[in-house]
Amino acid sequence: MGGTERNYVTEAFDTNWIAPLGPNVTGFEISLEKYLGENSKVAALSSGTAALHLALILLSVTKGDEVLCQSMTFSASANPIIYQGATPIFIDSEEDTWNLCPIHLEEAIKDRISKGKKPKAIIAVHLYGMPYKIEEITAISKKYEIPIIEDSAEALGSTCKNQKCGTFGDISILSFNGNKIITTSGGGALVSKDRKIKEKAIFLATQARDQAPHYQHSEIGYNYRLSNICAGIGRGQMEVLDDHVLLRRKMNEFYKDIFKNKEGVTVFTEPSKDYKSNHWLSCIVIDSKKAGFSSEDIRLALEKDTIEARPLWKPMHLQPVFKNAPYYGAEISENLFKNGLCLPSGSNLEKISRKRITKSLLNFT
């Protein structure tokens, strides 16, 4: 927390705005719209997952449809496809950004069309804050007229060619879950250039109530709006977003420095000057033949010193729950999962914690 969050929350209590609407919800949306710029319209929601679900509904994804989705991601990117009764088609990553591979994406689109069904949407993720290959993916989306849902849950504060993540999709989503770059304890947002999309998202998120003095419904609604209490935390967090990005980027430098002389250890970083990652999490991949140890060796050594590190996201096409879903790709995401590791990356890691990490990693540098 930055400090001012409590003031906004206290204001909500003092004015009795304890509801999924109120001045903090509106204020948080305005603050996000200002930050994202370029006419972004933001609907504050209860989670990033809810935002993804509404994005699919707004793009008319229904039972029997197919949706293309990055395989290497958190399951929340893919679950809402199932909520809609649609089928996820998983796509491998490429090596530069670890995100959606344009070659396999196009291969999948062509193959699905030849099988008689054109996919309804593309879910592209900025994993660990690293922007996906915007130009290539957008070009494919335009060529085949398949809209992009930009999963920017991990990438608020990242940019590609100075344009902010959260502004690239036909519809974009953000998450303010407890572990993200800024948090509302739990929360999310749907972002679009179209005011009507924002309005429709809010309509669906508040039980799809028609204009009438009584309760009338012509559509199925959801209870997905953000609470005014949580939005208060969000308003305060917006004041420290830039600081958090700076601190996370510093953590990435910290690890680059630790491993600078070690062959076989690569700290995940931007492929070119066009990309700027918020480095939500700092990750490494290990070539165990060159390094002489594996990512699991590092994880266990850190664990011994009571420091938590975790493997990278396990690709969706390897998850038991999605075992029957089609997959297009090679073994890029699979190998990243096998050889990668997320290291302690918090914005609040004190010098003493960083010293402990350095010491614990000494045998691997």
Residues found near ligand PLP in the complex (CB under 6 A): 47-49, 73-74, 76-77, 125, 151, 153-154, 175, 177, 188
Find the shortest distance in angstroms from Cβ 342 to ligand PLP.
12
Q: To which H or E segment does residue 122 belong?
A: strand 121-125
CB of 109 to ligand PLP, least distance (A): 22
Q: Please say which residue, 76 or 291, places its beta carbon nearer to ligand PLP.
A: 76
DSSP states of 42-105 as a string?
EEEES-HHHHHHHHHHHTT--TT-EEEEESSS-GGGTHHHHHTT-EEEEE-B-TTTSSB-HHHH
Q: Which two tokens stand for residue 273?
A: 């000057």
Which lies closer to ligand PLP via its Cβ, residue 165 or residue 332? Answer: 165
Smaller CB distance to ligand PLP: residue 48 or 119? 48
Question: By C-beta, is 77 or 333 nearer to ligand PLP?
Answer: 77
Task: Determine contact, residues 244/13, Cβ cutoff 8 Å.
Answer: no
Sheet with 327-328: strands ordered across: 41-45, 188-192, 171-175, 148-151, 121-125, 66-70, 87-91, 327-328
Interior/surface letters 96-120, b for 16+ CB within 10 angstroms, e for the rest: ebbbbbbebbbebbeebeeeeeebb
Contact 132, 125 (CB under 8 A): yes
Q: How far is the CB of 86 from ligand PLP (least distance, A)?
A: 17
Residue 128 or 259 having the CB closest to ligand PLP: 128
Nearest distance, CB of residue 336 and ligand PLP, angstroms: 15
Minimum distance of ligand PLP from residue 74's CB (angstroms) = 4
Using alpha carbons, select from 87, 83, 151 the residue that is nearest to residue 119: 87
Taking CB atoms, the residue at the shortest distance from ligand PLP is: 48
Query: Nearest approach, Cβ of 175 to ligand PLP (angstroms)?
Result: 3
Closer residue to ligand PLP in complex, CB, 188/291 = 188
